[in-house]
Amino acid sequence: YNAAALSNPWENMAVRASSSWGKGAYRVSYQGLFDWYGLDSAGVRTETFAAALGQGWIRPTMHQFSADVRLRGGTAQGRRGPKINDLGLEENFYSDYYAPLDQVAWAAPWSINAGYSMRRSAVGTTYQTTHSVRVDGTFDATQNWKIRFASGYDLAKMDFTFTS
């Protein structure tokens, strides 16, 4: 409630619900936005409550459902850090550059996330629905190097979203 508002003092009501299982590997979520006020015949928000106009107790303005899966692997526990000498300086891992290298334990953490999203938004008296899929991930090659990527695809527009 916005007591300082001259008109439409009741703010939209947001509803969120989510659940995950499999140690966070799977997740489903819902978000909804509902308006207390109704629309006139032109689709313009009025100062009259939606219930008084016969548009339901509250008027839905947005629904979003998403389902996600996350895969992870690797561990940072096996990764060696630099040796620190008595002076507090990093020592070189390999004092003899010409000696054969031992097998290095590879323990680079990584994750891949994929998801689907369906969003339905009210535009005046009609609804617009958007379906999209996305994928993103990370790869920690070393303690100081991290590679990230992200991309998505809008199923309705048949076009890729921002990719990085």
The predicted model gives 1-11 an average pLDDT of 85
pLDDT at residue 144 greater than cutoff 90: no
Give 43's DSSP letter.
S
The predicted model gives 103-110 an average pLDDT of 71
Domains of the chain by residue range: 13-74+102-160
Angle at 158 between CA 154 and CA 164, to 5 degrees: 55
Query: Which pLDDT belongs to residue 64?
Result: 97
Query: Which pLDDT belongs to residue 96?
Result: 65
Q: Write down the pTM of the prediction.
A: 0.67
The predicted model gives 100-123 an average pLDDT of 83
Query: Which pLDDT belongs to residue 21?
Result: 95
> How far is residue 67's CA from residue 163's CA, in Å, rounded to a whole number?
20
Query: Which pLDDT belongs to residue 137?
Result: 95
Query: Which pLDDT belongs to residue 62?
Result: 96
Do 152 and 133 meet the contact criterion of CB atoms below 8 Å apart? yes
The predicted model gives 133-139 an average pLDDT of 94
The predicted model gives 114-132 an average pLDDT of 92
Angle at 8 between CA 6 and CA 1, to 5 degrees: 95
pLDDT tens digits for range 17-68: 999 999 889 999 999 999 999 998 888 889 889 889 988 899 999 999 999 9
Q: Is 81 exposed, middle or buried (0-12, 13-18, 19+ CB in 10 A)?
A: exposed
Query: Which pLDDT belongs to residue 42?
Result: 85
Do 38 and 55 meet the contact criterion of CB atoms below 8 Å apart? yes
Query: Which pLDDT belongs to residue 79?
Result: 57
Pair type for strands 26-35 and 37-39: unpaired
